Structure 1
Amino acid sequence: MSPSLAADILNFAFAEDKPTYKATLAAVAEARRVRPVFLLQQPRARRDPLILNTLTRPSLDAAAATLIRSWLLKKHKAMLADFLDALGIPHQDGVVETLPEKVEDEKLQKAVGTLLSKYPAEVVTVYLHAFNEMNEVNWENLTRLLNEDARLQFGG
C-alpha cells in the first residue's frame, strides 16, 4: 500500500484506537529490542516511519493484520457493510459469524464494482485483500479477481 495510506492507518489508531496503537507499539518495540517507552519518547515524525517500516517484517504480520483489521472495522464499517449487503450475506455492522463457502461470480463482480464506485480504490484494495487473507473461507473467484483486476492491485 502507499506510504500515505499506511500513515493514515497508523494515525487513525493513534487518535481513535489507543489499545490497538499501544499493542502495535509494543510489538514493534519487542521486534526492535527496545522498551515501548523509548519509542514513545521519540517525536511522532520519527517514530511513525520506524513503526511502519518495522511492521513490514514477516514476524510482525499478526500485529500489522490487527492494525489493519481494527482500522477497517472502526473507520470503514460502512464499506464492509456495503460489500456484505451486495453479496446478500447477513452481518452485524460489517462483521460476519460464518461466511458461505463460495459466492457467485456475478454477485462478487457487482459487489466489488459497488465498492469501487463509492470508496477510494486503494482502501477497497486493502479491504478485499485483508478480507481474503484473514478469513478461513477463501473464495477462488475473489482470489482470481484480486490477482487479475488491475483496479485491485497495490501501486496500480
Structure 2
Amino acid sequence: MSIHVGDRIPEVALKRLRAGLETVDTYALFDGRKAVLFAVPGAFTPTCSARHLPGYVEHFDEFRRRGIEVYCMAVNDAFVMQAWAKTQSVPDGLQMLSDGNGELTRALGLELDASSSGMGLRSRRFALYIEDGVVRSCFIEQPGQFEVSSAEHVLAHLPT
C-alpha cells in the first residue's frame, strides 16, 4: 500500500553527506516545515539526470520563495548522491538524501523492482508535498513515465 494524502511520513533514518556522513531522521527533516520530497529511480540515470533533477535545480528559487524546502532522494549511497549533485550543479539548500537500503521507499510503498535491468530495488519516480510531516499532495508516476513529479507540474499544483 502506498502513501496517501493525509498520511504522516514514516520515521526512517536516511543518510546525507555534509562535513561527513550524517544520519538524519525523517521526522527531523519534515516536522515543522513545508517540503517537497522527490525521488528518482537512480542517480546518473538518463531521465533522472537529463530532466527530473535539473527541473528542481532550475526552479529551486521558486520553491524557496514559497517557503518550501526541497529534498531529492534515491536508493543510492550518500557518496553517489553527492557526486551526482556536483555534476548537476545542485544549489546549496537542495538536499540530496540517500535511502541506500530502500527503507523509506518501502515504508512509503513506492518501491520498484528493477532487477531485470540489473538495478535491484529502486524507488518509483514521485514527488510528495509535505507540511509539518503530513503528506498534502502526492505526485506518483506510472512506471516508465515522467510527467506529474516534475518540478513544473508540482509547482503548478501547490497551494499559492
Give the TM-score taking structure 1 as reference length.
0.28
Identify, as 1 or 2, the structure richer in strand: 2
Identify, as 1 or 2, the structure richer in helix: 1
Which protein has the larger Cα radius of gyration, Structure 1 or Structure 2?
1
Give the TM-score taking structure 2 as reference length.
0.28
Question: Relative contact order (alpha carbons < 8 A, sep ≥ 6): 1 or 2 greater?
Answer: 2
